[in-house]
Structure 1
């Protein structure tokens, strides 16, 4: 089995592939103060709780945008699985050619999403990831990572509201019944959710217009992406497992195949 791990700023997401079948996704909170033993125990516990034997994991691929946890996480995987994980970093084969001004600034998670989207859905495509930040990445018809937009994620925007405005409460991130909100909580929800929908539609429209491509497939992923995708016609596909599938695709390109 192949263990795929994506370490993001808010959560670490993992999935286990047995051939083409995926178990997961499973999530744990990203914390920089965890030791390698803590990470190793949590990972093995998640697998065992879901009916998998950790000793059946034969290889691992890891993408991370949180350098502070890399040492503990990588060593936890090695200590508890006996595997040196393949790290998504510069020089690895992804199938994506980065043509932006500074390729090293593109996060590993976005490269993984781009690789997954291009391999599965083809190009040109726009990959929208609703995570800690909301990212809009344009992949050309030849697999080139051409351009990107980065905006605050919904949770960041929500936190800014109730942390910086003394009288505004913490609210659930859900779409209110109407945009014509009549009290504070639904007013905040309307601003956050409908604001994200409006941002999505405008940025997608303008990126496609500026790119010159006639037909661009728009793929969304990320925890809150499903809620946004339901509310707009500008998103063609919502794939909650895009990152894990992208990791598997990149792993296969390295020819480090799990023995069956």
Structure 2
């Protein structure tokens, strides 16, 4: 089985693949100082909780935007899965033509999303990942990664309001109000964040479309996609676990002789 790990700044998403099919998805908090043993305990517990065998994991694929965590992940792969992990890094085979000033600056998560979406749809695409940061990617119909946009995410914005505006409370849970105009502070903040980011997303989609000659398909992904994307006009599909599929595809492209079971 293949274990795909998407290590983000706030959360780590784990996907378990068998025969190329995503069987299970788990989300845990990213700890910048966790050890290989601690992570192994968490993975083993999740596997046992959902009736999967920890010892049957024999392939590891990693997307990581938190460099301090990589050493623990490499050691985890060696000690517990007896394999060298595949890590998205500069120079790997993607199947895309990267039209970026410095491809080394391109985040692993952005590459995985682009690869998965183009592999599935084979058309011009705008991919929006609602994560810690919100990223927009434009892929041409010829499979050319043309660039994108990076925006602070909804959770960053909420924390900024709490830390920078002394009278505003901390939002513990994002709940979509039934209307835009609200009569209490928490709902007013939720409306501003959710509907505000929906409007921002709509505006950027339109600006991207004005700069290109194609009519792209628009895909939303990431942990906050179900919350925000449903309020955005112009989004065609929500693919919540696109990055995990991208990790599987990239693993297979770069390890063509490996049989994933």
The 3 A distance-change label for structure 1 pair 227 and 153 is same
In the TM superposition, what is the alpha-carbon distance from 1:44 to its structure 2 partner? 2.0
Q: TM-score, structure 1 length as denominator?
A: 0.96
In the TM superposition, what is the alpha-carbon distance from 1:232 to its structure 2 partner? 2.1
Q: TM-score, structure 2 length as denominator?
A: 0.95
Equivalence map 1:1-260=2 (5 Å): 1-171=1-171, 172-213=173-214, 215-254=215-254, 255-260=256-261
| CA–CA distance in structure 2, aligned partners of residues 14 and 183 of structure 1 | 37
Render the CA deviation track for 1:168-217: whole Å, top value 9, x for unaligned. Answer: 0112312111111122111111110111000000001101111221x100
| CA–CA distance in structure 2, aligned partners of residues 60 and 256 of structure 1 | 15
Q: Structure 1: which 4+ aligned runs deviate by more than 2 Å?
A: 256-260
Describe the SS at the equivalent of 2:231.
coil
Render the CA deviation track for 1:124-152: whole Å, top value 9, x for unaligned. Answer: 10110000000001111111110211000
Range 142-151 or range 14-23, more displaced: 14-23
| CA–CA distance in structure 1, aligned partners of residues 60 and 235 of structure 2 | 31
| CA–CA distance in structure 2, aligned partners of residues 232 and 133 of structure 1 | 17
Describe the SS at the equivalent of 1:28.
strand
Give the conservation status (yes or no) of the 8 Å contact 1:10–1:29: yes
In the TM superposition, what is the alpha-carbon distance from 1:58 to its structure 2 partner? 2.1
Render the CA deviation track for 1:76-108: whole Å, top value 9, x for unaligned. Answer: 122111121111111111112211111111100
The alignment's C-alpha RMSD in Å is 1.2
Give the conservation status (yes or no) of the 8 Å contact 2:220–2:229: yes
Gaps in structure 1 of 5+ consecutive residues: none
